[in-house]
Structures are given as C-alpha cells and as structure tokens.
Amino acid sequence: MRAFLDQSALVGLNPAMAELPEIIILADQMTDRLSGRELTSFRLGMDKPLNRPPADYDLLLGRPLDRVRPLGKWLVVDFSGPGPNLLVHPGMGMDLVESSVPLDKETQFEFHFSGRTGFKIRYWWFGYLRLAEPGRSRAEAGDIGPVPFTGECSRDYLVELARTKPRTGLKAFLTNQKNLAGIGNYYIHDICHCLKAHPLTKMGSLSPDQLDRLHGAVETTLSQAVERGINSYEFDFFGRTGQWSSEEFQVGYRAGQPCPVCGTEIIKIKAANAASYICPVCQPEPN
C-alpha cells in the first residue's frame, strides 16, 4: 500500500493512461482470477466517476463475475444473472490491482469477492465507473466504434469509413473512439510512423497503399504492445510493473533520438490538441 501510494508521484509524468493493450492484459488477468466468484461487498469512495446513484450499484451484489472483457479503453465486468454490468475507464490514469482485505478510507473504490479476493481502483485524476444494462455497454461507453482484433474492425470497415471522412486528420481519425475504440495518444505515434504518414494528413490524402496498410499498422502496433506486457510505469492486476518504457517505441516519446528507419532525429510536435512524435523525413508535413 505504501509503494502503491508512492506511485502517485508519477501523476502528470506518465504518458500511458491505459489504451487497448493494457486493457486487454488487465481484462485477461481479472477474468482468470475472479471468474465465478461472487461480489460480496464494495465501497464507492467518490460519486463523480459514477453514472448512477451509488445505491444502484447494489444491483451487482451477490452475482458471480462471468468475465472481464476489453471494450476499447473500457473494461467491461460482466456478471451472471439479471441486472447491470460494471464498466471501468482509466480516464487520466488508474491503478486497478487485486486486493483481498478491506482497505483504509483513502482507497477510492474497492470490490470484494468470494474466495478472499477482489480489486481496488485509484484514479490518478479522474476516471469513470459506470453501470450498463446488458447490451448497453457500447452506448454507456459513449457510442464507441468497433474494437481492433474483433471482426467488426476489419480492413474494409476502416477503408470505407476513411472514405466518408476525407477531411479528418489521420491522428484525429484513429483516436476518435467513435471510429474505432482503443487508441489514444500513447500508441498513435508508432501507428502513424508505421504508415509513414504525418498525424495531420487528411484521410482523403492517404495513398491507396497507406489506406490498405492502415488496418495492419493498427493491429501490428497494438499486438506488439500486448506481447510486451505492462510497461514500467504501470501496474498489472497483481501490482507488478513491466520492464520496458519508450525504448520499445519506433518514434513515440523519443524526441532527439534517431528514426529507426532513416536515422533522422525524431521531433515532438503538437497535433490534434496533444503532443505527437514523428520522423520529419518519413512523415513529412501534408500540403
């Protein structure tokens, strides 16, 4: 618990706020550990993240956890039996780790399950903890689009969607959760670099080849992150940090270092209202 709180010093420094790869890892670990166990008690330390009155969350009590599944940047905690399920969004940073005992009142959220296990959540700044009736997860998550690695987010889907939005910039297109769900400002840098496209390139200006490789660039970048596991700034469900940070990226967070493709110095720019890291040669400015 002390080590846990000490990490709060990282607020504002850690650029990873949990995107689809981290959500996939966490969902798998939670499912492994909690599947079949009943929710016995919980404590909601704040109202702000909730979409319904705190008392409504009693509808989760006594129900066995079916599984935890990734839905873009959201974790969907599915319970058996009638009633709503639980949606968790990391917002601007979250620790979600296993815990087995009632905790002190500074702990923001805790959920206890049968078998002496459970989990606790701490939001670094803010996040979301919502109830969603079965079949309403997507709607409660903000009408988000298809998730990479599912059939819905196919190559054809992306190409067709891109055709309908020729004036949208590439980065804005890929980080808009209504287009496809799970990419934020952490993995976007390498996806754009993989495509050899500047983040502000209009979708209508992508070459046929780039349009064709869009789907692959997304899935390659995200699946490599899943394989690497949790990074050194974040915790997995068991409170363990990983071994890697930005050195695993092609260009992300590597300003001043050489582009792995052409050796040019990577630069940091502002694009779509947030930082972007690009190789100015591989990804020349549009227009």
Q: Which residues lie near DNA (CB under 7 A)?
A: 12, 15, 17, 48, 72-73, 89, 91-92, 126, 141-142, 165, 167-169, 172, 175, 177, 184-186, 200, 272-275
The smaller minimum CB distance to DNA, of residues 76 and 200, is found at: 200
Smallest distance from the beta carbon of 269 to DNA, in angstroms? Answer: 11
CB 21 within 8 A of CB 70: no
Q: 83: closest CA among 98, 109, 65?
A: 65
The least CB distance from residue 278 to DNA, in Å, is 13
Nearer Cβ to DNA (84/118): 84
Q: Which is nearer to DNA, 83 or 91 (CB)?
A: 91
Q: Which residue number, 263 or 273, has a Cβ lying nearer to DNA? A: 273
Q: Which is nearer to DNA, 118 or 182 (CB)?
A: 182
Nearest to DNA of 120, 189 (CB atom): 189
Residue 251 CB, nearest approach to DNA (Å) = 13
CA dist., res. 261 & res. 245, Å (int): 20
What is the smallest separation between the CB atom of 102 and DNA, expressed in angstroms? 27
* Closest of 248, 192, 253 to residue 217, by C-alpha: 192
Q: For the CB of residue 197, give the shortest distance to DNA in the complex, in Å.
A: 14
Could you tell me the two tokens for 96? 């979600």
Q: Are 64 and 77 in contact (CB under 8 A)?
A: no
Q: How far is the CB of 285 from DNA (least distance, A)?
A: 13
